[in-house]
Structure 1
Amino acid sequence: MAFKRGDSFAGGVISPTASASGAKLNSNLGGALKNTGDIFASVGAKYGIDPALLAAIAVHETGNGTSNAVRNKNNVGGMMGKNGLMTFDSIEQGIDKMASNLKRNYFDKGLTTIEQIQRKYAPIGVENDAKTNVNQYWVSGVSKYYKQFGGG
């Protein structure tokens, strides 16, 4: 289940799947994410997920392409495995794996708003957030970037 017109996000409306072009995304992508807008657009089309949302999550999770996770592991989504942060062979693979995870474990299970996704993706108070307590900013951060990328 992809985001559809009328679904809510932080008080707004989620745009249709094709809302963000690669060029539009590139205007706000930096660091290791610079010029990856076309990848977000093609992966979004592949999984039926608004590319603006994929880019917004990646920007929030990586400090707009500056985190060690994206620079050293191509991990754009803060994805965790049994041994901590997952490692991917390329930024494109990292984007694809994040989108695939969102499709299978969130959208296909009816979690279709930024708030619903946050409760599972970046829950407040989990062990890996106990020291930093940054998950409380996930909805506002992702929503802000989503609007910047032309979503909502």
Structure 2
Amino acid sequence: MGGKVAGLTAPTAGGAKLNAKLGGVLKNTGNLFESAGKKYGIDPALLAAISMHETGNGTSPAAKNKYNLGGMMKRDGSGLMKFNSIEEGIDKMASNLKRLYFDQGLTTIEQIQKKYAPINAKNDPTGLNKNWVPGVTKYYKSLGG
């Protein structure tokens, strides 16, 4: 799977379709991904796929305890960001993707990965970032993307 998926700005799945695959704390949040996607011009299925990959489909401690659904790090590199709700976590992830990726021309899963989860990053000592493109692509395609 190459990760070069066309149409990452056009919605490929609505909230109800996303809900069929979302688990853990992401369960029944498809409408939130759909709203954030419309607000920021990003396919809701891509937002959900990134969240599913980053959180083990809503089961990670970051998702459950910090509502951090995108693996977003603090600017100073001191750890994961914390949000006050699932809604805020989804909105901040979508806003971040819009401003720092889509607005800069990084619109494919492969392009996003090079900045979002780069291979050999300091905060990835066990090399998990190599799984980002295949993982996000798998989830994206399972959601209809």
Q: TM-score range by the shorter chain?
A: over 0.9
Q: Deviations over 1:114-137 (max 9, x none)?
A: 00000000000011112x211000
Partner of 2:36: 43
Distance in structure 1 (CA, Å) of the matches to 2:5 and 2:69: 25
Distance in structure 2 (CA, Å) of the matches to 1:112 and 1:129: 23
Q: How does 1:10-25 map to 2 (within 5 A)?
A: 10-14=3-7, 17-25=10-18
Q: How does 1:1-152 map to 2 (within 5 A)?
A: 10-14=3-7, 17-81=10-74, 82=76, 83-130=78-125, 132-151=126-145
Letter in 2 for 1:43: A
Query: Given the two structures, how large is their TM-score scaled by the length of structure 1?
Result: 0.90
Change (3 A) 1:110 1:16: closer
Distance in structure 2 (CA, Å) of the matches to 1:74 and 1:15: 24
Question: Contact between 2:8 and 2:107, CA under 8 Å: does it hold in 1?
Answer: no
Distance in structure 2 (CA, Å) of the matches to 1:11 and 1:54: 16
Comparing 54-63 and 12-21, the one that deviates more: 12-21
Question: Contact between 2:6 and 2:108, CA under 8 Å: does it hold in 1?
Answer: no
Question: Contact between 1:17 and 1:45, CA under 8 Å: does it hold in 2?
Answer: no
Displacement, 1:14?
Answer: 3.1
Give the length in aligned residue pairs.
142
Query: Given the two structures, how large is their TM-score scaled by the length of structure 2?
Result: 0.94
Any idea what SS the aligned residue of 1:126 has? coil
Distance in structure 1 (CA, Å) of the matches to 2:108 and 2:81: 25
Distance in structure 2 (CA, Å) of the matches to 1:20 and 1:69: 25
Runs of 4+ more than 2 Å apart: 11-16
Richer in strand (by share):
1
Percentage of pairs with the same residue: 66
Cα RMSD over matched residues? 1.2
Displacement, 1:44?
Answer: 0.3
